[in-house]
């Protein structure tokens, strides 16, 4: 049986977005894509509520923990925790450009210190048996060259890391917000492609600006894997075709209603354990994006899920509104459809009247 490599398609770690509820929901859309946690700092794990940061549902596998930190000993202790909690991978964040992250001496600023990242990799690999991977940019600030990226990857790979997820933009550490850093620096996919050409022995995934599965498939001719970020969150149903289009699965694409039936069961369990409804509905607002009932679905959840005591009926009603709108549109389309026989009759009538 051919082993499926989940790195072929992964969903980016996104702060405030890829929490455990979002990951459970995404797993209902794709069985094979690799999921990532939000970035968690070493300080939060070593001195905070570990269960809050690390707990996840077994259905989420394969799932990776992304760490923010730069002290090898702390990173090693957290890698050990990742393995103990059952994560499939631990990833080092060397790509986040925010001021808050820089003040903690981790994130994209670490690209200027490849030796420190290499030391973290060595310590982490000594502390755990799960893969240790790195997510980075192609450069930072004035260090916008292939030579800079090459030196970073060479140094970290020599320490034992064989998997790199590269956002194909530089990070501008002063002057741009994290949001601007996701859009303003130009994408340079070719630089990542050439990195893979120079390192056939490494697993290289590409990230940045990927909004369609067709665009992802085109990248897979050049690199080993693709990582999708905001589009997967804002238009999640795109992921329903990932298993077929990217991984070659022969299983049927799940319908939105089927996905929601399973998510409703999860939501019911979480509500019973004290989780507020809005923490689970905020992630799914885009499920019906582009569909006749998309706005109704989004508005109903936005207006009602946050209310005190909001129950699962809010979500059930939102689904019912969306599905009813879709059914009305389908009926209207069917009524307006002209059959081949009718087309032939219309053509003949037109010829006779000509």
Is 209 labelled as part of a ligand binding site? yes
Is 66 labelled as part of a ligand binding site? yes
Closest CA to 287 of 258, 245, 244, 250: 258
Query: CA torsion angle for 178, 183, 185, 189 (degrees, to 10)?
Result: 120
Is 15 labelled as part of a ligand binding site? yes
The answer to whether 38 and 19 are in contact (CB under 8 A) is yes
The yes-or-no answer on residue 96 being catalytic is: yes
How far apart, in Å, do the first and last CA atoms of the chain sit? 65
Is 196 labelled as part of a ligand binding site? no
Burial of 267 (0-12, 13-18, 19+ CB in 10 A): buried
Q: How far is 146 from 189, CA to CA, in rounded Å? A: 12
Is 35 labelled as part of a ligand binding site? no
Is 328 labelled as part of a ligand binding site? no
Is 13 labelled as part of a ligand binding site? yes
DSSP state letters, 184-244: SSPP-HHHHHHHHHH-TTSEEEEESS--SHHHHHHHTTTSSEEEE-HHHHHSGGGGGGHHH
The answer to whether 239 and 30 are in contact (CB under 8 A) is yes
Is 181 labelled as part of a ligand binding site? no
Token pair in block for residue 146: 């292939």
Is 207 labelled as part of a ligand binding site? yes
Is 227 labelled as part of a ligand binding site? no
Q: What phi-psi label fits residue 98: left (phi over 0), alpha (psi between -120 and 50 degrees) or beta?
A: beta
The answer to whether 21 and 270 are in contact (CB under 8 A) is yes
Is 331 labelled as part of a ligand binding site? no
> Residue 229 phi/psi, 5° resolution?
-115, -105
Annotated active-site residue in 78, 96, 109, 161: 96
Instruction: Enumerate the active-site residues.
Output: 96
Give binding residues for FMN as ranges: 13-15, 66, 135, 167, 207-209, 229-230
Give binding residues as ranges: 13-15, 66, 135, 167, 207-209, 229-230
């Amino acid at each position: 049986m051919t082993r499926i490599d989940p790195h072929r398609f992964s969903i980016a770690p996104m702060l405030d977005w890829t929490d455990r509820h979002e990951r459970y929901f995404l797993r209902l859309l794709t069985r094979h894509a690799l999921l990532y946690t939000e970035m968690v700092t070493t300080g939060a794990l070593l001195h905070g509520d570990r269960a809050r940061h690390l707990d996840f549902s077994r259905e989420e596998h394969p799932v990776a923990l992304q760490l923010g930190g730069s002290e090898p000993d702390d990173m090693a202790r957290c890698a050990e925790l990742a393995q103990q909690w059952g994560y499939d991978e631990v990833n080092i964040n060397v790509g986040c450009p925010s001021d808050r992250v820089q003040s903690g001496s981790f994130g994209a600023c670490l690209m200027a210190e490849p030796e420190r990242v290499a030391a973290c990799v060595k310590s982490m690999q000594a502390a755990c048996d799960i893969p240790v991977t790195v997510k980075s940019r192609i450069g930072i600030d004035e260090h916008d060259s292939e030579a800079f990226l090459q030196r970073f990857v060479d140094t970290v790979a020599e320490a034992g890391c064989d998997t790199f997820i590269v956002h194909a933009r530089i990070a501008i550490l002063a002057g741009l917000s994290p949001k601007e850093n996701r859009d303003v620096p130009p994408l340079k996919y070719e630089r990542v492609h050439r990195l893979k050409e120079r390192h056939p022995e490494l697993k290289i995934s590409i990230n940045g600006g990927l909004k369609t599965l067709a665009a992802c498939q085109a990248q897979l001719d050049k690199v080993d894997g693709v990582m999708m970020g905001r589009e997967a969150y804002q238009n999640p149903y795109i992921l329903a075709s990932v298993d077929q289009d990217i991984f070659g699965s022969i299983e049927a694409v799940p319908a939105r209603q089927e996905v929601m039936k399973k998510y409703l069961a999860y939501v019911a369990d979480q509500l019973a354990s004290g989780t507020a409804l809005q923490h689970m509905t905020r992630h799914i607002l885009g499920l019906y994006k582009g569909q006749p009932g998309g706005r109704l679905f989004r508005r109903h959840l936005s207006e009602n899920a946050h209310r005190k005591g909001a129950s699962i009926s809010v979500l059930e009603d939102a689904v019912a509104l969306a599905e009813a709108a879709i059914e009305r549109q389908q009926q209207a389309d069917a009524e307006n459809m002209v059959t081949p026989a009718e087309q032939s009759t219309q053509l003949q009538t037109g010829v006779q009247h000509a």
